[in-house]
Structure 1
Amino acid sequence: MNNSKTKKIVVSSMLGAITVILGLTPLGFIPLGIINATTMHIPVIVGAILEGPVVGASIGLIFGLSSFIKAFMSPTPISFVFYNPLISILPRVLIGIVSYYVYAALVDKDKKLLKIISYILYPIFIIFLSYLLYQNIVSAHIFNAVLTTIFLITSIILAYITYKSDYNNFAITASAFIGSMTNTVLVLGGIYLMYAQPYMEKIGKPIEQAKSAILGVSITSGLPEAVICVLITTVVVNSVSKIKMDSAIYNEKKIKTITN
């Protein structure tokens, strides 16, 4: 087995283990006051961007299997929807595949155009997080306010770096956002198409409200999760890429020193 395959297996195993830990502990959810954003899909997207679609799909499979097993081991009133692999597993596998190909399609595009789009997206993130911070301060949710402040500062820093440097974050931004929404749309869409009536019965609402109820969940949870996913993924991918670059430069200098 060559070094590349070994590396992919190691990365898949590590990020897959992180995904399982996030799913089994409160670390998988970030309390932001009016919503809780899940972070369990972030290792899938990070793995896909850094190591390709096979690694992303593999981590997504681990994510899906953990959701499938948890539905049986720790059932809730709506756990029955996750007994179906088309909802609990398939969307999670597709997160890694979609994220990679979005990143691959954009990473070499014209940086000026992509930076202009970034100038539009980051202010939206900042305004949204500012609104969450305001809600948390008004509600006196100190811990949630602190977390929201951290993400708000992070988004401002990333926006500044994108503005001041030649480095293009848009490919990562788009990959993380679309990858996150892939999970939201496919899971909630699957629930609507296959389990609308029993799902609405479990949450105590009439079937006539199924469309608006599920759409409401996608907006109140899906969009915040996508924003948080963008911020965390951007920081992680940029940090790992910098470490790789520094390591490559160090090794190159070391080889030159030895040969001289």
Structure 2
Amino acid sequence: MERGSRLSQTRTRQLTVVGMLSAICIILGVTGYGFIQLPIAKITIMHIPVIIGAIIEGPKVGMLIGLMFGGFSIIQNIMAPNLLSFAFINPLVSILPRILIPLTSYYSYKLIKIKNESIRIGIGAAIGSLTNTVGVLTMIYILYVDKYATVKNLTIDKATKAIFGVAYTNGILEAIVGVLITISVVGAVNKIKKEKRKDN
């Protein structure tokens, strides 16, 4: 009975985390707060809840949040289309990279043997963030470089450079922001968990 109760509590907690972090992804997208305008680039933080969910509760939870994030991206691009919506309505662009985020972030966090927890969290966050940026832009390149060149009025060569230029610039900036936010949030959650264990 006790084991069953623990399993039930774990599942309830995980579903709560999925719901809460998925809602944060959607709110960030709907309100526009998921994008930060920097002097040299506009970066997104919408993928960070996926990373946090994966590190806190494991890859399955992270993948569900990533699925919600990707699904919302498709709906958003159908409801409010822009120049690149032709790419983002494709699940291979919007969903596939987002469900890979938790796998790369969680396993890099778990498998790297470093005693410092914050460094491990930071590495997981950086790799997860790069998975999102590079994954999405690589799929756009593979599937839509011709169409991307057309809508941007570029040659194929210049379109290729533009796509990977964005991957380089945004990838680094988003990884830095992702590391800072994830370390803070996961560190705070882990501290609360430790205090609860002490009380029990």
Inter-partner Cα distance in structure 2 for 1:110 and 1:229: 19
Asked if residue 226 in structure 1 is aligned to residue 175 in structure 2, the reply is: yes
Inter-partner Cα distance in structure 2 for 1:31 and 1:246 = 37
Secondary structure, counterpart of 1:44 in structure 2: helix
What's the counterpart of residue 83 of structure 1?
89
Deviations, residues 133-170 of structure 1 (Å, cap 9, x unaligned): xxxxxxxxxxxxxxxxxxxxxxxxxxxxxxxxxx4322
- On the 8 A contact 2:25/2:49 being kept in 1, the answer is yes
Structure 2 residue 49 is matched with structure 1 residue 5: no
State the shift of 1:102 in Å.
1.1
Seq. identity, %: 48
Match of 1:180 in 2: 129
How far 1:31 sits from its partner (Å)? 2.2
Counterparts of 1:90-239 in structure 2, within 5 Å, are 90-106=96-112, 109-111=113-115, 167-239=116-188
Offset, 1:221:
1.4
Q: Contact 2:125–2:178 (CA<8 Å) still a contact in 1? A: yes
Report which stretch shifted further, 202-211 or 225-234: 202-211
TM-score by length of 2: 0.93
Q: Which runs of 5+ in 1 are unaligned?
A: 112-166, 253-260
Is 1:26 aligned to residue 5 of structure 2?
Answer: no
**CA gap 1:222/1:13 in 2 versus in 1, 3 angstroms:** same
Gaps of 5+ in 2: 1-6
Shift in CA distance, 205/103, structure 1 to aligned 2, threshold 3 Å: same
Distance in 1, Cα, partners of 2:114 & 2:20: 34
Cα 1:248–1:216, aligned 2, differ >3 Å: closer, same or farther? same
Q: Is the 8 A contact 2:114 2:120 kept in 1?
A: no
* Contact in 2 for aligned 1:37/1:228 (Cα 8 Å): no
How many residues were matched structurally? 194
How many Å apart are 1:33 and its aligned residue? 2.1
User: Based on CA coordinates, which of the two structures has the bigger radius of gyration?
Assistant: 1
Partner SS, residue 43 of structure 2: strand
